């Protein structure tokens, strides 16, 4: 039994999108998925993509994924990695696949001189929270996430800044 991790490209969009749908179902957020396979392929394409994805394979078959992008900390003055999604097929959990994906990203951070690896987790997701804590993650309870999307984003974009 072996774990391998490889970078995903546009040709892997079907695999990645399958994991995205499975993650959304697990998180009870299927109704929020607007992406499709073509959008995933386009996001992973080109010489300078803005998003990256690693696929974990268990005995040569896709078992999980990590989708991430670079961010920047003004306080640290360094880039970091923001892990947008981490998912392992529920039937394959407990084999170290999720940890292997986190280790892979942590090594990338260290090798590239990045300041941190960060992500968000739903507050009700106790199994994932326990897993992340076991890897050394610290929950940032002092922060509240903010988001503007959809009609609110369009409205905000159409406003005139006060002088």
The residues annotated with a catalytic role in the active site are 132
Contact 2, 53 (CB under 8 A): no
Paired sense of beta strands 61-73 and 78-88, if any? antiparallel
Instruction: Compute how many other C-beta atoms are within 10 angstroms of the C-beta atom of residue 81.
Output: 22
Q: Is 67 helix (H, G, I), strand (E, B) or coil?
A: strand
Question: For helices 37-44 and 13-26, what crossing angle results, to 10°?
Answer: 120
Quick one: which of 121, 125, 61, 55 has its CA closest to 91?
Answer: 61
Distance CA 62, CA 53 (A): 13
- Type and span of the H or E element at 29: none
């Amino acid at each position: 039994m072996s774990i391998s991790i490889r970078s995903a490209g546009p040709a892997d969009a079907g695999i990645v999108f399958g994991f995205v749908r499975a993650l959304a179902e697990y998180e009870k957020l299927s109704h929020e998925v607007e992406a499709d396979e073509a959008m995933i392929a386009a996001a992973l394409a080109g010489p300078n993509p803005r998003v990256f994805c690693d696929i974990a394979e268990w005995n040569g078959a896709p078992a999980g994924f990590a989708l991430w992008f670079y961010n920047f900390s003004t306080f640290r003055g360094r880039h970091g990695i923001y892990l947008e999604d981490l998912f392992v097929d529920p039937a394959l959990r407990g084999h170290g696949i999720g940890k292997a994906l986190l280790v892979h990203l942590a090594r990338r951070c260290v090798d590239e001189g990045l300041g941190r690896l960060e992500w968000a987790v739903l507050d009700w997701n106790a199994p994932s929270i326990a897993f992340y804590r076991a890897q050394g993650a610290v929950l940032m309870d002092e922060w509240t996430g903010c988001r503007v999307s959809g009609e609110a984003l369009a409205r905000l974009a159409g406003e005139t800044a006060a002088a």
